[in-house]
Amino acid sequence: MKNAIKVLLIIIGVILLDQITKGLLLYLITGGVPVFGPAWNIVPVPYMMGQVTDFFNIVFTWNPGASFSMFRSLGESAPIIIIVLTGIVIGFLLHYLFNKANKHEKIPIAFIVGGALGNLIDRIRFGAVVDFLDFHVGGLHWPAFNIADTFIAIGVGLYIISWFIIRKKK
């Protein structure tokens, strides 16, 4: 039971961190935090917030596709398809997390679920995800991403490491 509470707190913490950073960004741009609405009616994109370092900018963009703009070519049906697929994946991960995951897998999967839920909230609210972290080298930019994407990537990396740890013990 204690482990389940810890895992739920991690998931909630990831969601809150993600939503607070996105809400702060929306507030700085619009002067308010919209609850629902079509993304492109709220803030036109791209919107440059400012250069932080020589290799990092804060930008504002809507991502109607999946991670790193995948599935963007699906057009208007992309949000619905991605919401359904994301819900299925989250359901599978939650089932695995609370029924089958070992101690090495719990935190990585909690990070992935928290990040996926953070982006799912945006999709349901706006039909697109808020992305704002822009890393680049000269004119070469990595696709903009957000805190949820960061936790998903960290979770996947930690999960791969845990897989090697488990495999080595066998």
Residue 10 CB contacts under 8 Å (≥ 6 apart), including other chains: 107, 110, 111, 114
- Helix, strand, coil: what percent of the chain each, to 5? 65, 15, 20
Q: How many domains does the chain contain in total?
A: 1
pLDDT attached to residue 33: 77
The Cα–Cα gap between 124 and 147 comes to: 17
Task: Report yes or no on whether pTM surpasses 0.85.
Answer: yes
Report mean pLDDT in 10-residue bins for the chain, 170 residues.
Answer: 91 98 88 74 67 87 71 72 92 97 95 97 91 90 93 97 81
Mapped onto helix, strand or coil, the DSSP state of residue 156 is: helix
In contact, 102 and 22? CB cutoff 8 Å = no
User: Sheet harboring 47-53: ordered strands across?
Assistant: 47-53, 56-63, 129-137, 140-141
> Residues with catalytic annotation?
131, 149
